[in-house]
Amino acid sequence: MGKREIIEALIFSSGSALTVKDIIRILPGSSREEIERYIEELNGIYEASNRSFRIHLVATGYMFVTLPEYAPYLRQLVTPVKLTSASIEVLAVIAYKGPCSKQTIDGIRGVDSTSSLKQLIKHQLIDIKPGKPMLYYITEKFLEVFGLTSLSELPDITQFEEVFGVT
Amino acid sequence: MGYLGSTETVYDDFVLHLPMFEGPLDLLLYLIEKNRFTLHDLEVCPIIDQYLSYIERVRSLDISLAGEFLEMASYLIWLKSRLLLPEELTYTDEEGKNPADELKEMLLAYQAIKAASRELGMRPILYWDTFPKGATSEERDITKTSLGPLMEAIQAIRARTKQLIMNITPMRFSIQDIMARIQALFSGKKKITLKEAAPTGEKTEIIGAFMAALEMSKLSIVRLIQRGLFSTIYLIKRTENK
């Protein structure tokens, strides 16, 4: 039994994403880099033995997730969250321009975003800052769902402004 | 309307794909791309014509169009009318901006967001492409509820209570009518029960009968007798008014 296996056990038993802080609390003296290295090793082992899951790092910490190729089976077991392309567009506006008002979102998209905003709030991917006007912002759940550690991990928007006509 | 120009043939191959346009800006981007313009060397007028003829065509097919498409159409008609004016008369707003440039800016901003959202949508999405451990037992943690879901819940409650108010039926039984009915019941007997005065057993009728009985008691027409809580209420006709 090594540190690597202890970390694996901790992540395995954790109900939600396990923070690096929690791992360090239980294994004092471990560094972030060391933990990262162990996770890489574990994922290497899973890959070599053809396992259906990997450990992912998201904003909230480490978690086990299944590989995308198993999705068709899992969607029959778990109610999947299907986001419409309109909703993803609204998410992109809030991720890049937020916190922003509904007026800003509608202005950029040229269409009304009410139903998308409702859907996104229901799935807890965005939330509202009180005030006038109310501002919408990205939640940690969004980062978790899109496999991001922070918004800065998203590609720079200016890179999209230069190209045109990508399909 | 007369803005069907030489561009009539353009839409034939894409009119069937209507739902793929998220909005008017999306449609404009499609037309620009189709004409192999870039946003930097964009000729606005042919795009406006194609947009308007597309809208015209869709409306002639009786497909209901989101208001935004029509709003954009009226804006484009206005824009084209400005662009057709001689250069020196060309309208600029307070900041000295050319309206065609404003449209380009709008399209550029939308185009960037569209590309960014496409990129975002290509990432593996948790609960759709990948699934975390325990996804089947996923439950909302109410201690983590934030403003958004809370407002949603309040709206749901409001909608529900509104519905209740709408369900209330108006009072169908008048006390006067029930009093008359009770009088009629007394022909031939001296004692009736409150239930007899409310034969349908409907709540509003029972209340009406009860109020009628109280009224008749006040007018010394009947005496009300009840032996204990919740037991039968009897109405006994007074023989004479004293």
Whole-angstrom distance, CA of residue A125 vs CA of residue A106: 18
Residue where the block lists tokens 């996770």: A39
Chain A, window 6-25: residues with a beta carbon less than 8 angstroms from a chain B beta carbon: 12, 15
* All structural domains of chain B with their residue ranges: 8-122, 175-237
The burial class, CB within 10 Å (0-12 / 13-18 / 19+), for B128 is middle
Same domain, A54 and A113: no
Q: B175-237: which CATH architecture?
A: Orthogonal Bundle (1.10)
Residue A78's contacts (CB-CB under 8 Å, 6 or more residues apart) are: B127, B131, B135, B136, B138
* DSSP label at residue B129: T
Q: Is residue A166 part of a domain?
A: no
Q: What is the CATH number of the domain that holds A32?
A: 1.10.10.10
Whole-angstrom distance, CA of residue A78 vs CA of residue B205: 51
Same domain, A110 and A57: no
Structural domain harbouring A109: 85-157
Domains identified in chain A, total number:
2
pTM of the model: 0.64
- Whether the CB of B153 is below 8 Å from some CB of chain A: the reply is no
In degrees rounded to 5, what are phi and psi of residue A139?
-100, 170
Enumerate the residues of chain B whose CB falls inside 8 A of the CB of residue A128.
146-148, 151
Same domain, A92 and A121: yes
Name B132's bridge partners.
Answer: A65
Q: Is residue A107 part of a domain?
A: yes
Whole-angstrom distance, CA of residue B8 vs CA of residue A165: 23
Same domain, A91 and A61: no
Q: How far is CA A112 from the centre of its chain?
A: 26
Residue B178's contacts (CB-CB under 8 Å, 6 or more residues apart) are: B197, B198, B205, B208, B209, B211, B212
**Largest Cα–Cα separation, chain A:** 58
Last residue of a domain, one of A17, A41, A68: A68
Joined tokens for residue A88: 């993803």
Question: CA torsion B106→B108→B111→B112, rounded to 10°?
Answer: -120
Same domain, A92 and A153: yes
Q: Is A64 helix (H, G, I), strand (E, B) or coil?
A: strand
Last residue of a domain, one of A39, A68, A97: A68
Whole-angstrom distance, CA of residue B189 vs CA of residue B209: 18
Same domain, A91 and A149: yes
Joined tokens for residue B132: 């975390």
Same domain, A58 and A18: yes
| Termini Cα distance of chain A | 50
Q: Tell if the CB–CB gap between A66 and B130 is shorter than 8 Å.
A: yes
Predicted local distance difference test score (pLDDT) of residue B23: 84
Spatial CA neighbour of B25 closest among A135, A157, A112, A138 = A112
Nearest by CB to A110, which of B24, B128, B149?
B24
pLDDT in tens, chain B (242 residues): 333 333 444 444 444 445 567 788 888 888 888 877 776 677 788 888 888 888 888 777 766 677 788 888 888 888 888 777 766 555 555 556 677 788 888 888 888 898 899 889 888 888 888 888 877 765 555 555 677 777 778 888 887 776 655 555 666 778 888 888 888 888 888 888 888 888 888 888 888 889 999 999 998 889 998 888 888 889 988 876 44
Same domain, A100 and A61: no
Share of chain A above pLDDT 70, in %: 96
Q: Which amino acid is at A158?
A: T
The 10s digit of each residue's pLDDT in A64-109 is: 999 999 999 988 888 788 888 889 999 999 999 989 999 999 999 9
Q: Give the closest-approach CA distance of A89 to chain B in angstroms.
A: 5
Q: Tell if the CB–CB gap between A82 and B128 is shorter than 8 Å.
A: yes
Which value, in Å, is the radius of gyration of the alpha carbons in chain B?
Answer: 37
Predicted local distance difference test score (pLDDT) of residue B89: 57
Whole-angstrom distance, CA of residue B59 vs CA of residue B51: 12
Predicted local distance difference test score (pLDDT) of residue A55: 94
- Whether the CB of B26 is below 8 Å from some CB of chain A: the reply is yes
